[in-house]
């Protein structure tokens, strides 16, 4: 009887162990499918979150993502599904749904124009080469900056302005802004970055906003709109944020040439050594494909006059 009881106990323990292991791996799988990947956590907390937005963009590139309406309460992770080469990807929200909040993810899909943007979580020596390539090609880009980047690199920020680039608001501390439920807290995060920018440049920052981590909700977009901001997501990005695990130049060209499309708002990270190395050639190859370059100001003005 004692032996039989022992056997029963052993089987019960085994069953519990199996269930635990199954639950563990199910949880890991769910996390992989739904969560954003980390990036360079040891380098900067801003950059750790900075990679989340591109991770989401890259992760859904091979899924059948369905476009969903913007929800007031639900936090969405911006994502894209590239279904046909050279065509606008399917996004979480449509161009029309975003328009009511003065928000964009793509420009005119009938024109071979690219809107180049960079997210600046911190500086690791690659921004000067990026600026040099842009200057060589006469391309004006938009740099979305966070607080520590402005504080630590006022010279680079002023160089961006002097060379005809736009600087936008990526918030002071790069939090999940969609988790903020009151306009006062949302405004404080935006205005702190505005103050840092004015202190560094003597100018007002452009009223262009990119949500940290690509996370958003209806109230998040409405708050930005109420503060006079236009929100910009993206229609092309790739995994470029791991400082110690950079994509090869071939991998970068495969994504950035194969997925380019008319009206693309392209998101790149200023911390990427691959981006710094390939940008000159990348711009040349896009030009050879028949693309020109526009500014976010031109995009919004064309939209307003349409």
**140, 290 Cβ separation under 8 angstroms:** no
User: Token pair for residue 197?
Assistant: 């920018």
Neighbours of 263 (CB within 10 A): 21
Q: Is 119 a catalytic residue?
A: yes
Count CA within 13 A, CB hemisphere, residue 231: 30
**166, 140 Cβ separation under 8 angstroms:** yes
Q: Which of 40, 102, 119, 240 is catalytic?
A: 119
Q: 42 exposed, middle or buried (CB, 10 Å; 0-12, 13-18, 19+)? A: exposed
The structure tokens 């708002």 sit at 265
**144, 119 Cβ separation under 8 angstroms:** yes
Q: Is 269 a catalytic residue?
A: yes
- Rounded to 5 degrees, φ, ψ at 304 are -65, -30
Q: Which of 165, 170, 174, 269 is catalytic?
A: 269
- Which positions are catalytic? 119, 269
């Amino acid at each position: 009887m004692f032996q039989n009881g022992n056997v029963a106990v052993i089987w019960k323990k085994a069953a519990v162990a199996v269930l635990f292991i199954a639950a563990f791996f199910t949880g890991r799988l769910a996390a992989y499918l739904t969560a954003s990947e980390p990036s360079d956590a040891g380098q900067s907390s801003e950059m750790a979150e900075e990679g989340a937005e591109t991770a989401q963009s890259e992760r859904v590139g091979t899924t059948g993502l369905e476009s969903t309406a913007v929800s007031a309460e639900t936090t969405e992770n911006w994502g894209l599904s590239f279904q046909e080469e050279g065509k606008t990807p399917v996004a979480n929200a449509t161009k029309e749904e975003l328009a009511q909040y003065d928000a964009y993810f793509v420009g005119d899909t009938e024109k071979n124009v690219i809107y180049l943007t960079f997210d600046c979580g911190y500086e690791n020596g690659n921004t000067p080469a990026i600026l040099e390539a842009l200057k060589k090609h006469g391309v004006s880009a938009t740099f979305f900056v966070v607080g520590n980047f402005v504080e630590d690199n006022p010279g680079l920020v002023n160089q961006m302005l002097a060379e005809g680039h736009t600087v936008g608001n990526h918030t002071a501390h790069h939090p999940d802004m969609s988790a903020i439920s009151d306009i006062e807290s949302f405004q404080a995060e935006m205005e702190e970055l505005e103050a840092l920018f004015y202190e560094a440049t003597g100018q007002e920052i452009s009223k262009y906003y990119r949500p940290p981590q690509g996370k958003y909700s209806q109230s998040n977009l409405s708050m930005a709109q109420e503060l006079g901001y236009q929100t910009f997501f993206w229609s092309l990005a790739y995994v470029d944020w791991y400082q110690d695990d950079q994509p090869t130049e071939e991998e970068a060209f495969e994504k950035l040439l194969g997925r380019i499309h008319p009206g693309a708002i392209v998101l790149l990270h200023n911390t990427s050594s691959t981006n710094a190395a390939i940008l000159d050639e990348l711009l040349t190859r896009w030009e050879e494909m028949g693309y020109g370059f526009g500014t976010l100001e031109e995009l919004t003005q064309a939209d307003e006059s349409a």
